[in-house]
Amino acid sequence: ATNPFDGTIVSSSKDKTLRVWDPSMGICRKVLVGHLDEVNCVAICPASGSVFSGSGSLFGSEYSIRCWDHVKGLCLRVFLGHKMKVNSLDFSPSGHFISSSSDGTVRLWNPAMSESLKVLNDHTCDVKQVVLNLEMKLAISISIDSTMRMWDLHRGECVAAYDLYHYATSIASKRNIVVLGDSTGRTYLLTPKIE
């Protein structure tokens, strides 16, 4: 993830660390240590520039999200609630964020609190990724259960579910368009309709 505040790049690793890179010099400026398990995802809060990371593994013991001061190398806050590994994170411009997990849930968080605001749990297994679509005012998630779900975050409800031929492995969304890649290597361009 690229930090728009200072231009650094932050990477996550199975070695339980994050690394803060200076792309102009090509060097690692800081190693962030504190996770007890593999770090699967990293995102930057657009409101503050803070680094957020999600961890966990199949036989792991820690399924947390951490907020970091990447300049000082300090963990500022730990978010607990997921029961299996955290797979993805995405942010709204206000700083609220959303996470997906192998426990089959999507959670909405306020970074000032350590508890999730909403738990969305209509998927039947691993939620590989979730993204926010600000134009449609929705979150969109994909799962190994071969569905894509669209969520109204204010109501905490699934407002649309789409059965896919194969499970999706990646997703992006802007305006009224959703792009997803599936486990066979195909890419789909969708314009879902919400009633």
Percentage of the chain with pLDDT > 70? 99
pLDDT at 40 over 70: yes
Residue 14 exposed, middle or buried by CB count within 10 Å (0-12, 13-18, 19+): exposed
Element at 147 (helix H, strand E): strand 147-152
pLDDT of residue 72: 96
Instruction: Tell me which amino acid residue 107 is.
Output: R
pLDDT of residue 12: 97
The average pLDDT across 137-150 equals: 92
pLDDT tens digits, 7-26: 999 999 999 999 999 999 99
pLDDT at 194 over 90: no
The average pLDDT across 126-149 equals: 92
pLDDT at 167 over 90: no
Which region among 13-17, 126-130, 161-165 has the lowest average model confidence (pLDDT)? 161-165
- The CA dihedral of 135, 155, 41, 185, to the nearest 10 degrees, is -60
Q: Which residue has the higher pLDDT, 18 or 194?
A: 18
pLDDT band of 195, cuts 50, 70, 90: low
Instruction: Tell me which amino acid residue 157 is.
Output: E
pLDDT of residue 179: 94
Task: Count Cα atoms within 13 angstroms, Cβ side, for 41.
Answer: 23
pLDDT of residue 94: 86
pLDDT of residue 145: 92
pLDDT tens digits, 74-108: 999 999 999 999 999 999 988 899 999 999 999 99
Q: What gap in Å lies between CA 100 and CA 176, rounded to an integer? A: 21
Q: What gap in Å lies between CA 132 and CA 178, rounded to an integer? A: 11
pLDDT of residue 192: 82
Q: What gap in Å lies between CA 114 and CA 129, rounded to an integer? A: 21
Residues forming a β-bridge with 116:
109
